[in-house]
């Protein structure tokens, strides 16, 4: 049972496509806040659509909040946590970013009450589509999970300490986003070596469905690549920390860096991905 009352306030930092939908599903909060300062018109539209209450700046939002939930690009996770910690926030801080366990533990040391979170799945649209894994002090994590009881987002508490939820996210994304980067790089390499069409025909014979996956990867991953570069670096650090090779994901980070110009695109094509990957890095 959650100790949070219906009047408690949850502040979401910073609600992009995932964070805004998570906030919209957060039925256990009395109020759901977001900070407008420095945010785009698109973010403002998403927040309004989810019924979030706007506050002008971080200090005001933190002063009102009982819980702060960070959902931001991995590269910004420590900076965002530092800004919140500097205000003297005494509530529960939830880091739900795609970051390495070691990064999570550093962030957790800034707060007396901290929950580690890892999100797997798309922005939640229907029950069962998306999971928020939580770890740390069990009673506190269960209280956070209860904020989404009965919603489209499934919140589950792991048995591990702070770092467990992040570790699960890192291991999962190492395959899903790591393999997408590998596939895109292979296609670009085949084109560069003059055998792109030949590889496509061979895949039709021996790897049914792989050509279709390339097309889906181009359309879905390309516009998100700017965020995935930092995630790959966090994955590389996660594996290096346990004595495993990290080069796979360091290379994937470079792949996604080359695709960063697609950030504002609605979608992308295989040809666009190949062109960007073959271009000389600036």
Number of domains into which the chain is organized: 2
pTM: 0.93
As a whole number of angstroms, the distance between CA 221 and CA 180 comes to: 8
Q: Is the pLDDT of residue 59 over 60?
A: yes
* Domain assignment present for 46: yes
Q: Which of 113, 128, 160 is the last residue of a domain?
A: 160
- For residue 175, what is the domain's CATH number? 1.10.1040.10
Quickly state the pLDDT bin for 2 (edges 50, 70, 90). very low
| Mean of pLDDT values over 183-212 | 97
pLDDT band with cut points at 50, 70 and 90 for residue 1: very low
pLDDT given for residue 281 in this prediction: 67
Decide: helix, strand or coil at residue 280. Answer: coil
What distance in Å separates the CA atoms of residue 215 and residue 225, rounded to the nearest whole number?
15
Biggest distance spanned by C-alpha atoms of the chain? 63
Question: In this structure, what CATH number is given to the domain that contains residue 15?
Answer: 3.40.50.720
Last residue of a domain, one of 112, 130, 160: 160
- Using CA atoms, how far apart are residues 211 and 196, in angstroms rounded to an integer? 11
- Whether residue 47 is contained in a domain is answered as yes
Which of 135, 160, 185 is where one domain is finished?
A: 160
pLDDT in tens, 83-121: 999 999 999 999 999 999 999 999 999 999 999 999 999
**Mean pLDDT over the full length of the chain:** 94
Q: 110 is in which domain, residue-wise?
A: 9-160
Q: Which residue has the higher pLDDT, 41 or 281?
A: 41
Domain assignment of residue 87, yes or no = yes
**DSSP for 140-155, written as a single string:** HHHHHHGGGTTSSEEE
């Amino acid at each position: 049972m959650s100790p949070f009352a219906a009047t408690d306030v949850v502040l979401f930092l910073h609600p992009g496509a995932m964070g805004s939908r998570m906030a919209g599903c957060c039925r256990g909060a009395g109020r759901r806040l977001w900070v407008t300062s420095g945010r785009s018109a698109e973010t403002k539209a998403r927040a309004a659509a989810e019924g979030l209450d706007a506050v002008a700046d971080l200090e005001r939002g933190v002063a009102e909040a009982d819980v702060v939930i960070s959902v931001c690009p991995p590269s910004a996770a420590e900076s965002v946590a530092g800004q919140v910690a500097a205000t003297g926030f005494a509530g529960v801080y939830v880091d739900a970013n795609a970051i390495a366990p070691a990064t999570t533990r550093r962030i957790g040391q800034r707060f007396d009450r901290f929950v580690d979170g890892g999100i797997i799945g798309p922005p939640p649209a229907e029950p069962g589509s998306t999971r928020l894994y939580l770890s740390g002090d069990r009673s506190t994590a269960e209280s956070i999970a209860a904020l989404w009881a009965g919603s489209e987002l499934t919140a589950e508490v792991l048995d591990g300490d702070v770092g467990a939820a992040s570790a699960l996210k890192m291991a999962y994304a190492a395959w899903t986003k790591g393999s997408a980067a590998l596939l895109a790089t292979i296609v670009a390499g085949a084109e560069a070596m003059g055998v792109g069409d030949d590889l496509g025909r061979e895949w039709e014979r021996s790897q049914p469905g792989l050509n279709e996956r390339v097309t889906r990867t181009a359309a879905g991953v390309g516009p998100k690549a700017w965020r995935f570069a930092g995630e790959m670096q966090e994955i590389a650090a996660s594996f290096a920390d346990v004595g495993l090779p990290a080069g796979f994901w360091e290379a994937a980070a470079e792949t996604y860096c080359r695709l960063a110009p697609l950030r504002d695109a609605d979608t992308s094509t295989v040809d666009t991905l190949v062109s960007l990957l073959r271009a000389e890095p600036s």
